[in-house]
Structure 1
Amino acid sequence: MIGHYIANFIMLSPKTPREELIKIDTERGFGDAIEDYEKRWDKEPFTIASDDAEIKGEIILNPAHVHKRNKVAVIAHGITAAKEADIKYAKIFYDLGYNIIIFDERYFGESKAKYCTLGMKEADDIKRICESARERFGSDCLIGLHGESMGGASVLRMLSSFSPDFVVADCPFMDLELLIKELAYKRASILGEPARYVARLIGYLRYKYDYFKVKPIDSVRNSDVPICFMHGEDDSLINVNHSKTMYELCKNPLSEIHIFKGADHALSITEDRAGYTKVINEFIEKVERAAGI
């Protein structure tokens, strides 16, 4: 029963309505970002075919370009959400002069796919978006990625096949097998071990999907891209040790990790918006300086 629940939650996750996402972030103090998105930013819709999915999103064009190289930030949301959840992060990058790409992950929002794969195929979707960004903004454009939760894991996993200029990974998991094991034990104690194997079997038989293969930590281990990890100290879904372990494997000396006290899952920016923004601003300043911008 528990294994069945886990498999279905991964592949057929509930979807939060757009209006609810806007309402939640407005109540959390991001009304200014929502207003900029709705009333001020120049948006351009796009659709990209990726494997068996149709990915829909928006390019937010930034008029503040004063650099020789275009700058683009691709933002990936977490499970159950849609691109509206990215707006609060988009404002940080927009204020730094970046064009923004936000999109609905496969299966969520307006994007079309039979199911979510929690980072397996999402990583390929993000790679396709980055390739499209280079076609649009120039092969030498500076591309940065921000991912939250599933989005963070997907962005990190993509590093095995595409190298952006930097990554900000907010509360990502390092290994889906480990995460499922941890969550299964929380729900079922001694039954957690068999439950995760039942979930794996159901996922494979019903969806041809093996979640044991989703291991962002392997991509981090083999990448030289600067990564800024952000994680809530009190994350009750994805333990902060996932980010700590991956950070220790980072090869690029510009990589950083920041732990936000009192923050639960995906709430670091809510708990300390000013501090969160400052971290990203200073990290990007280092990356751009190294890139000669």
Structure 2
Amino acid sequence: MKRKWTILLSGLGMVIVAAIAGASLYFYNYAFVPSHKTFLSSTTEPAVRKAQAWLKTVPKETWHEQAAGANLRLVADWVPASHDTPKTIVVAHGYMNTKEDMARQIKFFHEAGFNVLAPDDRGHGQSQGNYIGYGYADRLDYLKWLQQVIRRVGPTSQIGLYGVSMGGATVMYLSGEKLPKQVVSIVEDCGYTSIMDELAAQGQALFSLPRYPLIPAVALTASLKAHYNVFAASTILALNHNTRPLLFIHGAKDAFVPTSMVHREYAADHSEKKLWIVPKAGHAQSLKLQPNRYQHRVVGWFNAHWR
């Protein structure tokens, strides 16, 4: 009888392990493989469409870079200021977005007199890649983009980092790296605390799934298939090492990246910092709801910290 129970339990354990493995592979493809995502809006706001039309006509260059530690060709738009300036903003786009989706921000940075570099991350837009780096793999690529800016503008260049959603996480991850001295300040808008936290939040919101045991299994699958350590991807840990002035922005009604995350990020950062919670704003909607105030605060933050 004892042997039968052992066989039964062993078989049940194998079924559970197989089920978790199958589910983790499904959610890896759902969350990490670039493709159309039904849970994301497919509509483009009129203000963004107008800015995208402007971006097609403004003088710009196409830059290329090889991804850090990977044989992937990356693409970026370089939009020089109308007049020579040492000041450049590097913008980081969101999950399943492209550099063109940042056109509205590129335009107001350009109008403020700054150069702008807008990359397509791995697996997005014109850049190569069959996985999403969630900003953590991409942070090392941005270090290479920063060196391109310095080579182009010169050693006296001054650089600001700006990102929204996954891009917000990207610039927070960057804040924990050994940044070149030319990087002077950062603005992040609605970035998440970690890849695992964001997967858990979406698993709960979309499928009512608990964090354990699925999310660690998905993280392991992603780490093996995409070749970067998903478990180590924490903006909290990165912010502990940040030394640049950082403006945090988050919508008060953000359900995609829960607003509670920004309070943890703000507490983890020990640099000069400021937090702006935008009333009634959902995920990445702060600019849409308060365009004039948003532009004034973001551009003002960078202007206050140029050397």
TM-score, scaled to structure 1 = 0.87
2:301 is equivalent to residue 283 of structure 1? yes
For residues 79-103 of structure 1, what are the alpha-carbon distances to aligned partners after superposition, in whole Å with 9 as ceiling and x for unaligned? Answer: 1111111111112211211011112
Kindly report which structure 2 residues correspond to 1:140-159, keeping only aligned pairs within 5 A, or say none. Answer: 140-159=156-175
C-alpha distance 277-63 of structure 1, shift in aligned 2 (>3 A):
same
Partner of 2:256: 237
In structure 1, the residue matched to 2:154 is 138
> Conserved in 1, the CA contact under 8 Å of 2:52 and 2:101?
no
Identity %: 21
Written as runs of structure 1 = structure 2, the 5 A alignment for 1:1-293 is 2-15=23-36, 24-25=44-45, 27=46, 29-39=47-57, 41-51=58-68, 52=70, 53-65=72-84, 70-159=86-175, 160-163=177-180, 164-189=183-208, 191-253=210-272, 255-288=273-306, 291=307
Q: Say if 1:199 and 1:31 are closer, same or farther in 2 by CA, change over 3 A.
A: closer
**Closer, same or farther: CA 208–103 of 1 in aligned 2, 3 Å:** closer
Aligned alpha-carbon RMSD (Å): 2.1
Kept in 2: contact 1:231–1:268 (CA 8 A)? yes
1:206 and 1:33, CA in 2 relative to 1: closer, same or farther beyond 3 A? closer
1:3 Cα offset (Å) = 3.1
Which runs of 5 or more residues in structure 1 are unaligned? none
Q: Matches of 2:299 and 2:128 in 1, distance apart?
A: 34
How far the C-alpha of 1:15 sits from its partner, in A, is 5.0
**Deviation of the 1:188 alpha carbon:** 4.5
Once residues 293 and 232 of structure 2 are traced to their aligned partners in structure 1, the CA distance between those partners, rounded to angstroms, is: 35
SS in 2 for 1:13: coil
- Would the aligned equivalents of 1:149 and 1:173 in 2 still touch at CA under 8 Å? yes
Higher Cα Rg: structure 1 or 2?
2
| Distance verdict in 2 for CA 1:200–1:35, change over 3 Å | closer
Q: Give 1:106 deviation, angstroms.
A: 0.8
Deviations 1:167-198 (CA, angstroms, capped at 9, x unpaired): 11011012222222232233444643111122
In 2, the alpha carbon distance for the partners of 1:8 and 1:230 equals 30
Distance 1:283 1:35, change over 3 A: same
Q: CA, structure 1 residues 114+243, in 2 after alignment: closer, same or farther (shift >3 Å)?
A: same
Q: Distance in 1 between matches of 2:252 and 2:23?
A: 28
Matched-pair contact (CA < 8 Å) for 2:73–2:128: yes
- CA-CA distance at 1:32 after TM superposition: 4.4
Structure 1 residues 5 and 228: alpha-carbon distance in aligned structure 2, compared to 1, 3 A threshold? farther
Please state whether the residue corresponding to 2:109 is helix, strand or coil: helix
Matched residues, number: 278
Q: 1:209, CA displacement in angstroms?
A: 3.7
CA–CA distance in structure 2, aligned partners of residues 139 and 115 of structure 1: 34
The more displaced of 259-268 and 205-214 is 205-214
Unaligned runs of 5+ residues in structure 2 are 1-21
- Residue 15 of structure 1 contacts residue 109 of structure 1 at CA under 8 Å; is this kept in 2? no
Question: Structure 2 vs 1, CA of residues 210 and 9 (structure 1 numbering), >3 Å: closer, same or farther?
Answer: farther
Seen in structure 2, the aligned counterparts of structure 1 residues 201 and 30 have a Cα distance that, compared at 3 Å, is closer
Q: Deviations over 1:115-154 (max 9, x none)?
A: 1121221001111101110011011201011111111111
